[in-house]
Chains A and B, each alone.
Chain A
Amino acid sequence: MIEDIEYIQISKIDKNRLYSYYKRLVHQFQGFTPIQIIAKFLNGQSIGTTMQEVLIVLEYYKTKLNVNRELLDFAFEWIRANKMRSHYLKYLGNAQFPDYEIAIDACIFLFFQKYDQILRNLFRSEIEEYEISTLYGIFFTSLEDKDYDFNKILQEQKNRVPTITQETNRIDISLYTLRSGLSSIIRKDYNKTRRE
């Protein structure tokens, strides 16, 4: 597992700098709705190929946020995920995995298990597991992968990842959720690094 200090470096984002950029956009685009500004803000951070693509995700998850969290917090996490993706890709490129299955396990263990705890803090406890796994599919997909369809991913994950409760307690299947959301992404990235 990556040591705490190293992990902080990998996952650290400059929220102050990002916030002043966001504020600039608020002044600049006064005719935009708050959600459109967040989409514009994310586009400006190289997230999503179009504003519409980002808007669909924001619209869906805005109702799932924890009471003390805002869409801007969600946007920060998307940016953090983007930063982590570059570190994970570097690791994947340097490590010599004998096959993609080991790459999936090693990367989830080293990079994504800790991030899961951060991400889940954003949402209400009622969020479904497939909604979390879908988000992994969105947050960590390659920017070059233009053919992703949010609703299609959501439907696929809904069939694959159950939310299980026993009496009133929710059963932790976070590692299963992580695998479901990330396996095909890590596999694609692994194959790509092998070809390069």
Chain B
Amino acid sequence: MKATDLILGLFYSDENNIVFDNIKLSESVSKDLTELNLKQLKMLSLRFLGPLFLTSKIEIGKGWKIELLEAFLSQYQKRTIDVDLLQSFFSVNSSIETEKGVSNLFAIIGSPYTEDVKIIHNLVTTFIHPSIAQGKIAHESIMRENFAFQEFIDKELKRGVNVINYFLGSARKMYWEEQHKYCCVGFIERRNIVEPKISNVVSNLYTFDVDDPLKYTALNFIPSFYVMSILPNYYENRINETLTLLNKTSIYPNIRLITLSNQKKKVIYLEEFLLEDKTKRSFGVILISENEFMKETHNLAFYKKQLRFILDKNKNMEKSIIKINSKINPFDNWDTLSDEGLEKIKKDLDIGW
């Protein structure tokens, strides 16, 4: 038994994109770790932020930010001894914009409990990251040229890791935000083979018709259909990579939630999965906050229920998509696995008026 499995990495990238880190691993995780693995783990923080760095404009106030990424971890069916007891894997990002540029504080967390991710998100975004930013300004003002930033940030990241670690294990709560109404602008169907190791087999996006005015409206509320299409596979693969690096090979990730924001805009990707005979079927919805242009809105519980109906009760996927948003075309799928398919999404779907 490995009841104390823990992965906790805190990464700070300053306005010049120089990354500082503090990584805490339980003994059971760190004992077989090589120097090379640890180096690769540090590089992963940048890859976690990758898709948005690649596609968004890195201009103040114009970039999309990843807020939250949450995944369940499941055991491979055949492993009964020497199992890894990590249950949650999630990452939280906080971005602060100043005139000097953007700084990011990014946490990657693997824990043996089902975590209250919201409290960790609040801790990182409203407390740890602002404390670092404010501490830096105050120390610079007091100590001027004697201010040693490396020493300061090392101390701050250590403090941050310790306080996050303290709050891990908090019971999940129901938050009032979950009652907000959202509108679905895309539906993703994925199929993976999970043994001997995860491989993507099918990944399709369903959305509005190319010439539907709602497609153009949706583009104002999401980074792009291309980014939204690649995120689930991309992040599932990154988490898998992290787990492999840390020798956590008896478990595999299942994306549960991805939250992105751009100033007041917020996008949620919500996914449910079912494993049957080594094949994992996942269905997810791309949701934006209710707005004056989109009429069909529901709360998160509704979407979760519809996704579970398809998985557990074999409800017809096409009918369910129509129930979720009657304007989405359930018969035209956009391949999100092949380069050609993704190019087509960029070319045909991501073009505005």
Residues of A in contact with B (beta carbons under 8 Å apart): 1, 3, 97-99, 101-102, 105-106, 108-109, 113, 160-162, 164, 171-176, 179
Q: How large is the interface on B (under 10, 10 to 19, 20 to 34, 35 or more residues)?
A: 10 to 19
- Could you list some 14 contacts between A and B, CB below 8 A? A1-B126, A3-B173, A98-B166, A105-B127, A105-B159, A105-B162, A105-B163, A106-B167, A162-B141, A164-B137, A172-B130, A176-B134, A176-B137, A179-B131
A179 to B135, CA, bound (A): 10
Q: Within 8 Å CB of B131, what residues of A?
A: 175-176, 179
Query: Contact: B166 with A113, CB < 8 Å?
Result: no
Question: Which of these, A1, A99, A102, A162, contacts B122 with CB under 8 Å?
Answer: A1
Docked CA distance A128–B127 (Å) = 22
A172 to B136, alpha carbons, bound, how many Å? 12
Measured between alpha carbons, how far is A109 from B164 in the docked complex, in Å?
11
State how many angstroms separate the Cβ of A133 from the closest Cβ of chain B: 11
Interface: B52 (CB within 8 A): no
Give Cα A174 to B127, complex, Å. Answer: 11
Describe B's contact surface by its main secondary structure: helix
The answer to whether A108 and B159 have CB atoms under 8 Å apart is: no
Query: Are A164's CB and B163's CB within 8 A?
Result: no
Q: How far is the CA of A52 from the CA of B138 in the complex (A)?
A: 34
A161 cross-chain contacts in B, Cβ below 8 A: 138
Q: Indicate if B54 sits at the interface (CB-CB under 8 A).
A: no
Q: Could you mark each residue 131-145 of chain B with 1 if its beta carbon is under 8 Å from any beta carbon of chain A, else 0?
A: 100110110011000
Among residues of A, the one whose C-beta sits closest to the C-beta of B118 is A1
* Cβ contact of B127, chosen from A108, A162, A164, A172, cutoff 8 A: A108
> B317 contacts the other chain (Cβ, under 8 Å)?
no
Query: Which residues of A sit under 8 angstroms from B142, Cβ to Cβ?
Result: 160, 162
Which residues on A sit within 8 Å (CB–CB) of B141? 162, 164
A97-B138 in contact (CB<8A): no
Whether B159 contacts A173 by the Cβ 8 Å rule is: no
Question: If A113-B127, A173-B134, A173-B137 touch, does A97 touch B166 (CB 8 Å cutoff)?
Answer: yes
CA distance A179 to B130 in the complex (A): 12
Contact present for B138 and A109 (CB under 8 Å): no
Asked if B138 and A173 make an inter-chain contact with CB atoms under 8 angstroms apart, the answer reads: yes
Q: When the two chains form their complex, are residues B123 and A109 in contact, meaning their CB atoms are under 8 A apart? A: yes
A98 to B162, CA, bound (A): 10
Q: Does B219 contact A (CB under 8 A)?
A: no
A176 B138 Cβ-Cβ under 8 A? yes
Q: What residues of chain B lie closer than 8 Å to A113, measured between beta carbons?
A: 126-127
User: Which B residues touch A162, using CB under 8 A?
Assistant: 138, 141-142
